[in-house]
Amino acid sequence: MSDPIRIMIADDQELVRYGMRLVLEADASLSVVGEAEDGAVAVREAERLRPDVVLMDVRMPGVDGIEATRRITELLPETRVLVLTTYDLDDYAFGALRAGASGFLLKDARPPALVSAIRAVADGDAVVAPRVTAKLIELASPHLGAARGPAVSDALAPLTAREREVLRFIGEGETNGEIAERLFLSESTVKTHVGRILSKLGLRDRVQAVILAYDLGIVGR
């Protein structure tokens, strides 16, 4: 049996932390190793405990969840951050993804969804629904100064033509299954392409691939 996924909960509301701990510790494959009531404590505790996944509230006093996410992902590249938001179209969510979060989830998500999301980010996947991806990009588009011409060619030089296609569909929020249908490929083949794209471009996960696709202006071409 594999070791439990080690989780830290960062939220300024004690009741929220307590509720999440109860939910998570009911699953033998998960282990809550620490808690933090604000971003500064979250960074300090993450560095000490080195959890696999941090559940991060965005809006906290002092150091907020975005800055805490940035610090944690810089200090601990192997630790994944799953951001918790109150609204699925929260303007803060994109900032958290930019800061290195592997996805975000609504605070009122049902326990099975929370557990599934934790497992997904622990496995190196991302948790961002396509409709939310589109809204996040809409919110961020004024700040995305897309590259053009040689800059795009240089950035995408390591990729094959097929991998560039897959990257474009990732940027549009398509799942592996949807990309497979579009390109008449098996889902396992698409998953392999996604892994190679992340490796060749030095990206942490699918979220960073979405952001890069928009930064380069290749989405919708």
Q: Is the pLDDT of residue 204 over 60?
A: yes
Residue-wise over 138-176: b if at least 16 C-beta within 10 A, else e? ebbeeeeeebeeeebeeebeebeeebebbbbbbbbbbeb
- The CA-CA-CA angle for residues 91, 135, 12, to 5°, reads 30
- Sequence ranges of the domains in the chain: 5-138, 146-215
User: What is the tens place of the pLDDT at every residue in 16-62?
Assistant: 999 999 999 999 999 999 999 999 999 999 999 999 999 999 888 88
Please state which CATH number belongs to domain 5-138: 3.40.50.2300
Query: Position of tokens 């080690």?
Result: 6
* Range with the largest mean pLDDT of 35-39, 128-132, 200-204, 207-211: 35-39
Question: Residue 79 pLDDT more than 90?
Answer: yes
- Decide which of 3.40.50.2000, 2.70.98.40, 3.30.450.20, 1.10.10.10 is the CATH code for 146-215: 1.10.10.10
Give me the pLDDT at residue 53, please.
Answer: 96
Which run of H or of E encompasses 101? Answer: none
- Greater confidence (198 vs 155) lies with 198
CA distance linking residue 194 with residue 167, whole number of Å: 8
Q: What is the mean pLDDT of residues 7-11?
A: 96
Exposed, middle or buried: residue 204 (CB in 10 Å: 0-12, 13-18, 19+)?
middle
pTM of this structure? 0.72
Query: Mean pLDDT, to the nearest integer, of 65-75?
Result: 93
Q: What is the average pLDDT score of the chain? A: 84
Percent of the chain with pLDDT over 90: 43
Task: Of 20-34, 73-87, 98-112, 186-200, give the lowest mean pLDDT range.
Answer: 98-112
Say if residue 89's pLDDT is above 60. no
53-57 and 80-85 strand pairing: parallel
Could you tell me how far CA 85 lies from the centroid of its own chain?
13
At residue 221 the predicted structure's pLDDT band, cuts being 50, 70 and 90, is very low
Whether residue 65 has pLDDT greater than 60 = yes
Chain segment 106-149, per-residue pLDDT in tens? 788 888 888 988 988 888 777 765 555 556 556 555 555 555 55
SS3 of 117, please? Answer: helix
